[in-house]
Each structure stands twice: as C-alpha cells, then as structure tokens.
Amino acid sequence: MRQIVLDTETTGLSAEAGDRIIELGCVELLGRRLTGNNLHLYFNPERDSHEEALKVHGISNEFLRDKPKFAEVADEILHYLQGAELVIHNAAFDIGFLDKELERIGKPPITSFVTSVTDTLSMAKELYPGKRNSLDALCDRLGVDNSGRTLHGALLDAELLADVYINLTRGQEALLIDLGDVNTAAAAEQRATRADLSAFELPLIAATALELAAHEQVLTEIDQASGGKTLWRGTRMSDGDPGSGAPPVA
C-alpha cells in the first residue's frame, strides 16, 4: 500500500474566500516505512498572506514572488499522488484547498486521483476523546520529537505526521489475521506447537518443618481474625488434616 502523508500551508483559512496554497509537503510511505521519495513545493499564490497566517508559517510574500504558480506544477503533483492513500491531519481543510486549486484549472477534485483519504484528526478524536488532538499535542502524547517545530512548515509537518500516524496505528497489523478455518479442530491441531517435556525431570522441593510451622501460624492468625469463619479451616478439620489439630477420620 502506497501512502502519502500530506500537509499544506496557505495564505489564510478560507479557500472559498480566495485564500491560496503557498506550500505543499508530501512524504511517501511504503509498507509503513519512509522511502525518502518526498515532494516539497512552494507556490506563488498571486496574493499576500494574511497577517495571522504569516505568524503561523513565517513564509514571506517576497519569498514566494518567484515561485511557480500551482497551475504550472499541477500535473507533477497529480502524477506523484496518483493511486495513493492520502494521510492528512484535519483532511477537510487541505482537501478543500487542493480541490479549489484544481477547480481553477479545470481539473476534477483530488479524490479522483487517489484511492482514499485518511484523516488522522478523526482517528485521534476517537482514540482520545475530550483531549487536545493538534499535531503538537499528538507528538507530545506519542513521544514524537517535535522540538524543531518553531513555525509550521508543510514538509516538516508531514514528516511529523507520518511518525504520529505510524504510532496511532501501531499494532493494527496484528488484526489482519486469516480466521477462515479457526474453528475447525484439524486446523487448530495443525497450528498448535507442542513441546515434548518428557526428557526433563522436574525437581519436587518439599517445605521444611520450619516453613510448615510458619505457614500454619499465619493460617491460624487469619482464622482467629475472622472469628473462626474461614471456610478452608472448616474443610481441613472435617477432613482430619493433622495440621488442623483434629483427629483423622477413620
């Protein structure tokens, strides 16, 4: 399964109001392992970022002036994403921006090019209801080192999210077991691993007289503390246990 962990940075919060993508970061996973086949692009959004957005990502308008427009590299992006499962934190946000960019150049939505979209925010809310589930919060909770994240960056965030996703889904492979014939006796017999212990002589270590006396004293104290109501004491007496003080039953 080819998975692409994806993140974007934008000029603002509303694609419908005209905000644009300024950075795209993608990290490829194959068999849940990083391949190094990443995609990282900056775009000229043809507009300035909002002041609040600048505080989040720190990407200046001047830096983006000579970068390609989204339309100029759209085919490269779609070729890279083709047929993959997308893994995104708060997927509705990034997908909304990608779809709007594609709409501007007359292309269908991003889901037409990929197999599926997994939202790690939704996953986290199910696993940790009522808790903070931002990327930073999940990094802290799952032991992912995010010390280098002073500002948001699409590629860095995608790399962190890949670690978070692997931790969120750790152990999932154990559920992928073929149980087709688990109820048949023959199949169970074939799967069973039997160890032959006949060659081993297990030692039998008896308690010493001192240990037996100490044990009996503890039992007596427990019985006295319960007012003589311990069931095991009554059973031992009726069976004539020599250690109980009662004579053996003939």
Catalytic residue set: 152
Q: How far apart are CA 187 and CA 195, in angstroms?
A: 18
- Residue 78 structure tokens: 């779609």
Cβ burial 72-97 (10 Å sphere, 16+ → b, else e): ebbeebbebbeebbbbbbebebbbbb
The secondary structure element, H or E, covering residue 7 is: strand 2-10
DSSP state of 44: -
Backbone angles phi, psi at 111, to 5 degrees: -65, -15
> Quick one: how far is CA 48 from the chain centroid?
37
Which letter, b or e, does each residue of 15-52 get, where b requires 16 or more Cβ atoms within 10 Å of its Cβ? beeebbbbbbbbbbbeeeeeeeebbebbbbbeeebeee
Contact (Cβ atoms closer than 8 angstroms) between residue 247 and residue 240: yes
